[in-house]
Amino acid sequence: MDTFLVNLIAATLRVATPLLLAAIGETYIERAGVLNLGIEGMMFFGAFVGFFVADVTGSLWLGFWVAVLSGVLSGLLMALFSVTFGVNQHVSGLGITLLLGGLSLFAFRLKYGGRSVPPSIEPFPQLSPFKDVPVLGTLFEQYLFTYVAFLVIVPLAWWLLYRTSFGLNIRSVGENPEAADAAGVNVFLIRYITLAIGGGLIAAGGAFLSLAQLGAFTHGIVSGRGWVALALVIFGNWDPVKVMWGALIFGGTFALQLRLQAMGLNLPIPYETFLALPYVVTIVALVIAGRNATYPAALLKPYRRE
Amino acid sequence: MSLKRLSLLIIIALLALVAVQCGPSPTPEATEEAAEAPLFYAAFATPIEEPWDGVIHAALQEAADAGQIQYEWTDDIGYAGDMERVLREVAETKKPAAIFGDAFGNEEAVRRVAADYPEIAFVFGSGLGPADPNLSVFDNWIHEPAYLCGLIAGGVTESNVIGVVGGYPVPEVNRIVNAFIYGVKEVNPDATVLVTFINSWFDPPAAKEAALAQIDAGADVLFAERFGVIEAAVEHDLYAFGNMSDQYELGPGHVLTGPVWDMRPTVQYIIQQVEAGSYTAMDLKDFSMMAKGGAYLAPFHGMEEKIPADILQLVQQREEEIKQGLFRVPIDEATPPSSS
């Protein structure tokens, strides 16, 4: 039972990593008042670009950073539509998801078409700082990105948003852009910056899937993880630390249900019950936590100077 | 700044994108010498990167490359009602000799169109029966090599726990998994086979996590019905079986073999029948089984050294018996238990 728990926690951290990276990215964006429905497409694009560059150049790190760059550019594209042009954010976001999804698959077929198995590369190795120590060895055998996501990205996001004037500007732009503008904050610039940061993090979440967790790229590599991340941001009430707890709850139930299936209990309930568990738990948690949800007041509203 | 104009621009851009995604994929120009060859069209519900449709596409493409047929295709038609429109358009405008495709999720649409164009041979992957005069059906009947893989798995496992990760428990998957379990039990009655379904045809990260959970539960041999599982075997230095195609390159030194589906015998048979003018609606099942070369074990790539000699001998013996019709692998399409 102990090993069961230790394995479960290790798997939880691994499964939560891509969700956490994307959800923190989305948190920056929404805090500044933009709903980024391009998140699913940006993750997919990041997963593809990262894999493609790593495969062509042979460098995983180059692939990763180009993927991040692709996310920054995707974020800026979203900013062009939703901030500069003031287009309806639902339309521009879903448009970007469709665009980036189609673009990735088109490029994938051009480069890797006609194969019977998906292309694969040697992925990032897992770090094992406590190699032969029983419990710690398993728990800490994680990808570098998992360490960075939990120990750097989350605290940094919290500190930036709540303890710096930059974070104050982001939050004021998301709450009351008119007042922020009157106080001399450049609303457009702040939204551009948060979309660039957020896009980079979202794409990093996608690249984690193709470059670390799997070492391959196929259709369905993201499979709705972007939408899950979107829900986690609401669950976490736009607070990076609470978003992290949301990612852990979803990752934990996801890892748990696979382990329950693998216990081979032959229970008289359909296996779909297990598969639905992470979503049910997240929805229930969302309903409970969502009662106190306070949306950034300017979310979805394009800012226009009168 | 005119917002309306911009919105319009975006809508047009989006529509263009949708058109690109739904429209027929570019197909190679017919060469002049192939101009005599009959036109075969394929209408796939999924992208051709999906292994099931990929097998059909590969067999047709090979026949086209050999100059036997002209070949055009459309993929990613989906299950939202476009199949009937695509088939009618193709039947009206291109008048092909035969249309291949997969009817799963589009059974009624395919059958309606087929009945309206009796002069065209409709050859579709289907879980249902053929329909006179012109709708033939095929399916991936690869339970025989799956059974042979089960024999090997039962022979190489040391922990006596074997993991299977599948997409959905549909008949096509169930009979493969059940045949695999049947093989395991024949050589190793004490072995436990764990079966996990991920309810997706394409979610490799989830498939890998499912396999890792089975490894944590003691599995030391994995059957990768879906993509993503072999990566887990490589990570933990275990043996794995691929599925549908030769997947050795996903895990050199780890992938022992795997059931392979080959549509070439089916395609060759239809070409013969169409050319002879003797095409009739039929169940093409036999052409996807071992006796006619429609199913086989993937090449070992030297991995036969890792298999105990007596097991390997049994596999070869059974393989011969199956081909000669002396041994029948049971077909069980019930959902396999999560542990057996």
Domains of chain B by residue range: 3-138+264-290, 143-258+298-323
Would you state the pLDDT for residue A282?
83
Q: Is residue A163 part of a domain?
A: yes
* Per-residue pLDDT of chain B in tens (340 residues, 90 and over written 9): 455 665 655 566 555 555 545 544 545 444 444 458 999 999 999 999 888 999 999 999 999 999 999 999 999 999 999 999 999 999 999 999 999 999 999 999 999 999 999 999 999 999 999 999 999 999 999 999 999 999 999 999 999 999 999 999 999 999 999 999 999 999 999 999 999 999 998 899 999 999 999 999 999 999 999 999 999 999 999 999 999 999 999 999 999 999 999 999 999 999 999 999 999 999 999 999 999 999 999 999 999 999 999 999 999 999 999 999 999 999 999 999 999 8
Give the whole-angstrom CA distance, residue B172 versus residue B243: 12
What is the tally of structural domains in chain A?
Answer: 1
CB < 8 Å to A262, chain B: 163, 194, 196, 210, 213-214, 216-217, 219
| Closest of A67, A31, A50, A85 to residue A195, by C-alpha | A31
Answer yes or no: is pLDDT of A159 > 60: yes
Query: Which token pair is B256?
Result: 């022992």
Residue A256, in any domain of the structure: no
**Chain A 4-23, residues with CB within 8 Å of chain B CB atoms:** 4, 7, 11, 14-15, 18
Structure tokens at B114: 């087929």
- Domain B3-138+264-290 - what CATH class? alpha beta
- Residue A224: count of CB within 10 angstroms of its CB: 14
DSSP string, B120-142: SEEEEE-SS--BTTTEEEE----
Q: Among all residues of chain A, which has the CA nearest to that of B243? A: A117
Give the pLDDT confidence score for residue B62 in this predicted structure: 96
Around B161, how many Cα atoms within 13 Å sit in the side-chain half-sphere?
17
Residue A36 vs residues A84, A178, B206: alpha-carbon distances, Å:
15, 21, 25
Identical topology for domains B3-138+264-290 and B143-258+298-323? yes
CA B118, distance to chain mean position in Å, is 27
Helix (H, G, I), strand (E, B) or coil at B328: coil
* Domain membership flag for residue A33: yes
- Residue in this structure with the two tokens 């993937």, named with its chain if needed: B298
Task: List, in sequence order, the alpha helices (H) in chain B.
Answer: 3-22, 51-65, 82-93, 107-116, 143-156, 171-187, 204-216, 229-235, 264-276, 309-323
d(C-alpha A250, C-alpha A18), whole Å? 12
Q: How far apart, in whole angstroms, are the C-alpha atoms of residue A264 and residue A279?
A: 22
Q: Does residue A91 fall inside a structural domain?
A: yes
**All residues at 6 or more sequence positions from B218 whose CB lies less than 8 Å from its CB, including other chains:** B159, B161
**What one-letter code names the amino acid at B34?**
A
* Residue B24 confidence (pLDDT): 47
| Share above pLDDT 90 across residues of chain A, in percent, rounded to a whole number | 83
**What pLDDT score does A265 carry?**
83
Query: Which of B230, B153, B163, B152 is closest to B194 using CA atoms?
Result: B163
Among B139, B138, B201, B142, which residue's Cα sits nearest to residue B169? Answer: B201
Chain-chain contact of A275 with B216 (C-beta, under 8 angstroms) = no
Picking from B65, B58, B55, B62, the residue whose alpha carbon sits closest to that of residue B30 is B65
User: pLDDT digits over A1-57, tens only?
Assistant: 478 999 999 999 999 999 999 999 999 999 999 999 999 999 999 999 999 999 999
Q: Are A33 and A195 in contact (CB under 8 A)?
A: no
Residues 6+ apart with CB under 8 A from A192: A76, A79, A83
Could A120 and B208 be called an inter-chain contact, meaning their C-beta atoms sit closer than 8 Å? no
Q: How far is CA A157 from the centre of its chain?
A: 14
- What average pLDDT is seen over chain A? 94
Give the Cα separation of B177 and B182 in Å (integer): 9
- A220 interfaces chain B, CB cutoff of 8 Å: yes
For residue A102, give how far its alpha carbon lies from the nearest alpha carbon of chain B (Å).
7
- Please check whether residue A232 lies inside any domain of the structure: no
Q: What is the bridge-based pairing of β-strands B98-102 and B121-125?
A: parallel
Residue A285's pLDDT is what? 81
Asked if the C-beta of A292 comes within 8 angstroms of chain B's C-beta atoms, the answer is no
CB–CB of A117 and B247 under 8 A? yes
DSSP assignment of A112-159: HTT-SS--B--PPPPB-TTTT-HHHHHHT-B-HHHHHIIIIIHHHHHH
Helix, strand, coil tally for chain A in percent (to 5)? 75, 0, 25
CA distance B276 to chain A (A): 31
Provide the pLDDT confidence category of residue A84 given band limits of 50, 70 and 90. Answer: very high
**Does residue A301 lie within any of the structural domains?**
no
Q: Phi-psi bin for A100: left (phi > 0), alpha (psi -120 to 50), beta?
A: alpha
Amino acid type, A30: E
Stretch 245-274 of chain A: residues touching chain B, C-beta under 8 Å = 254-255, 258-259, 261-267, 271-272
Q: Of the candidates B292, B246, B306, B245, which has an alpha carbon nearest to the alpha carbon of residue B51?
A: B245
- Best of A85, A96, A143 to substitute, by most chain B Cβ atoms within 10 angstroms, is A85
Write B102-108 long-range contacts (CB < 8 A, 24+). Answer: B102/B44, B102/B45, B102/B46, B102/B52, B102/B53, B102/B56, B102/B126, B103/B128, B103/B137, B104/B45, B105/B45, B105/B79, B106/B45, B106/B77, B106/B79
Q: Which helix (H) or strand (E) holds B39?
A: strand B39-43
User: Looking at this predicted complex, what is its ipTM?
Assistant: 0.94
pTM of the full predicted structure? 0.90
Record: contact B10-A87, CB cut-off 8 A? yes
Q: Which of A99, A223, A259 sits opposite B216 (nearest CB)?
A: A259
**CA nearest to A139, candidates A5, A2, A6, A4:** A6
User: Tell me, what amino acid is at A212?
Assistant: A
Rounded to whole angstroms, what are the CA distances from A85 to A72, A189, B5, B11?
18, 14, 10, 14
Q: Which residues, numbered 80 to 99 in chain A, qualify as contacts with chain B under a Cβ-Cβ cut-off of 8 Å?
A: 81, 85-88, 91-92, 95, 98-99
Specify whether domain B143-258+298-323 bears CATH 3.40.50.2300.
yes
